[in-house]
Structure 1
């Protein structure tokens, strides 16, 4: 091999280096570009990692997968995840951007709530100036015009009817990422205006209508008790899909923080910025993630227990906590010694409220998003376990009078709702496994009844009646039994309708 060949190989090698991640900065130092994403899942993972490494210094990984390795004993224990672990303060906002849903960031002032929301808007391709101008800052004098816009003055004077009045809508309404800072400082009337935007996806003024495009909402509040200048209306709170708590700053990152100040703000790499088309594609891929029937059944088994209340009524259909609330009663008023159920074994005693259908949809959607982010094709029970505390954080109210919370080791759950909801899931999962011996014959009966020909419907009615009799007389009327009785009674009604039409 001659010198010319050596020189050519050397030049090729140098050129390959120049095309790599390494590059020289203005001071002669070497810096590295971020990795190029091979697909949308990898791009989401790279975005998460970049935020964790460069923008939000959070060592608190509270979403953990795999077998737990426990160190220490008694009250001084540390649990280590054997697989993936993530910081909820970063991951949940990213999942919200991916799913175009609504997230509330709660925590003390200066904890980074607005910073995280701004980062999500930067990932969506907006400039920092656009984002700053679009953030809606809640304050006691905020009006509907501040939120939506105002009519053109010339039209107000010349118009003969309201349809002739043109409205100058606020630009933030059409943005893919919407940020409402301190939403609990917005007056009640203006909150109603915000509700129509979030819930219905449009706003109306002077018979003019503007539609919101598919967008991710990020709201902030300085505490998680609904405090602020104004009480937040329940309908608006119910439209918030998921809640994430701010994490405190760890002083071990002071050096990194000082370096960031010295180098000014660092821009988001272009290869982790998502186009609107990519966000739409991600949303489509997330919805396509498989939701196994067993995972759905376990979720339903747990959630149905939270809504059950044996003492609410003597009628099967009305034995739920909504019946209590409509009567102005609380679970603590009836969950006493008069109720024969074990207060530690039955988790219905721990909550004042049940879970709405909207919350079911949120749990499923975010669990799919979490599975997509991890590169999985189907949702697992662990995905549900990790999402549940954040989706139910503001939806579930603990019953402080429950015997469960009177035990010294359980009192901490009244302040740490995330851990409380996780133990609800863990306990519910154990109950599900123990109950399968009783539930399986009911599931088999349901399958056989739904496939019965008309001439065998009378026999099906007898089978259903016999199964209900067996549950009522031989088993305690707890939440799982109640749920199955409701199902069997519904199947009984359907069979009678089919029989009457045949």
Structure 2
């Protein structure tokens, strides 16, 4: 594996490039890139106009050689518009498969919850297994494959709630939020006046370098006591009195992978409990279903995950088991 400091510099160059356009949201950008390096899919949820799509485009533009496709999800979108369709070729007398937009490295799914549940489910196989089944035969999509989807809050008009099975395919759900301060707001305004777009960003990383970093993430050491800690956090969500549906084993695997990526971005070759805590909320929050009483009390999945993190005993240091 390459030197941890070299990998960290590569990550910081990528993050800094995106920070040039997504003003004042450095931690949001960091989490989005951690999700990318962990080979996860990212769901960005927030109100309209806070740069959800711009963040996705900025990530895509920063990696040279990566193919990028976009789907604008609408109520009349069909599953075949996502995965592809069989077309009859009169010349050959055979049906040929025309690949859909999922055959790419980075897929931007804009306003995913405006499509019907049937169309949303077309993404399940490709997000989980990196393939599309055509006439009973699997067809692989390019590697790496990352789906960055945006959605508006479910209480907004014209939206469909994503089913639990679809939400569970996303490694992280994050919010961008409004600008933190006046200076950031002014910078965003200035970029808008100058008609600055994420497509104008300069690529700072080659696709092969991204693949190398992804491979390095897989090699990050997760000690036995850290694995036990991750499992205990996951199991605590299922036993929590305000939760009707806790985190699945898939969620635990996602938490471990995200912690591996976070540790690499911090310049280390091993995972610590602090890495797990840093990614636990965005990895776990969308996997919890709360009880009616908890919702009446205005409890949120994020607050419950934070409560669990404060009570679950965490190992110290790198660990050795």
Please indicate, yes or no, whether the TM-score normalized by the shorter chain is above 0.5.
yes
1:198 to 102, 118, 127: 127
2: CA distance, partners of 1:97 / 1:149: 24
Change (3 A) 1:280 1:148: same
2:63 corresponds to 1:124: yes
Larger Rg: 1
2: CA distance, partners of 1:398 / 1:305: 14
Change (3 A) 1:136 1:300: same
How far apart are 1:124 and its partner, in Å? 2.2
1: CA distance, partners of 2:287 / 2:223: 25
> How many residues of Structure 1 are paired with residues of Structure 2 in the alignment?
309
Q: Residue 98 of structure 1 corresponds to which residue in structure 2?
A: 37
How far apart are 1:208 and its partner, in Å? 6.2
2: CA distance, partners of 1:240 / 1:141: 23
- Indicate conservation of the 8 Å contact 1:44/1:373, yes or no: yes
2:314 corresponds to 1:422: no
Structure 1, unaligned stretches of length 5 or more? 1-37, 60-85, 309-347, 434-502
Instruction: Please list the CA deviations of residues 396-450 of structure 1 after superposition, one character each: whole Å capped at 9, or x if unmatched.
Output: 2333536xx99xxxx56x14x43431222111228x99xxxxxxxxxxxxxxxxx
- SS of aligned partner of 1:294: helix
2:223 to 277, 286, 292: 292
- SS of aligned partner of 2:102: helix
How far apart are 1:299 and its partner, in Å? 2.2
Change (3 A) 1:305 1:153: closer
Change (3 A) 1:228 1:294: farther
1:365-404 alignment, distance < 5 Å: 365-399=257-291, 401=293
- Indicate conservation of the 8 Å contact 1:106/1:224, yes or no: no
- Indicate conservation of the 8 Å contact 1:100/1:217, yes or no: no
How far apart are 1:388 and its partner, in Å? 0.8
How far apart are 1:304 and its partner, in Å? 2.2
1:112-151 alignment, distance < 5 Å: 112-125=51-64, 131=68, 134-151=69-86
1:407-446 alignment, distance < 5 Å: 414-415=299-300, 417-429=301-313
**Greater shift in the superposed pair: 382-391 or 179-188:** 179-188
Q: Residue 319 of structure 2 corresponds to which residue in structure 1?
A: none
- SS of aligned partner of 2:37: helix
1:356 to 240, 243, 248: 248
How far apart are 1:46 and its partner, in Å? 1.8
2: CA distance, partners of 1:429 / 1:51: 36
How far apart are 1:221 and its partner, in Å? 0.7
2: CA distance, partners of 1:226 / 1:204: 34
Instruction: Please list the CA deviations of residues 61-86 of structure 1 after superposition, one character each: whole Å capped at 9, or x if unmatched.
Output: xxxxxxxxxxxxxxxxxxxxxxxxx5
2:201 corresponds to 1:268: yes
Instruction: Please list the CA deviations of residues 213-236 of structure 1 after superposition, one character each: whole Å capped at 9, or x if unmatched.
Output: 231110111016798443433322
- SS of aligned partner of 2:287: coil
Change (3 A) 1:110 1:98: same
Instruction: Please list the CA deviations of residues 34-65 of structure 1 after superposition, one character each: whole Å capped at 9, or x if unmatched.
Output: xxxx833201112212322x111125xxxxxx
Instruction: Please list the CA deviations of residues 233-267 of structure 1 after superposition, one character each: whole Å capped at 9, or x if unmatched.
Output: 33222211111012212432243234423374473
Q: Residue 243 of structure 1 corresponds to which residue in structure 2?
A: 173
- SS of aligned partner of 1:40: helix
Change (3 A) 1:293 1:350: same
TM-score computed with the length of structure 1 as normaliser: 0.56
2: CA distance, partners of 1:306 / 1:264: 43
Structure 2, unaligned stretches of length 5 or more? 317-321
- Indicate conservation of the 8 Å contact 1:177/1:217, yes or no: yes
Q: Residue 49 of structure 1 corresponds to which residue in structure 2?
A: 16
How far apart are 1:387 and its partner, in Å? 0.9
- SS of aligned partner of 1:291: coil
- Indicate conservation of the 8 Å contact 2:61/2:202, yes or no: no
Q: Which has the higher contact order (CA 8 A, sep 6+)?
A: 2
- SS of aligned partner of 1:166: strand
1:176-195 alignment, distance < 5 Å: 176-195=105-124
**CA RMSD of superposed structures (Å):** 2.9
- Indicate conservation of the 8 Å contact 1:124/1:177, yes or no: no
More helix by share: 1
- SS of aligned partner of 2:244: coil
- SS of aligned partner of 2:29: helix
TM-score computed with the length of structure 2 as normaliser: 0.85
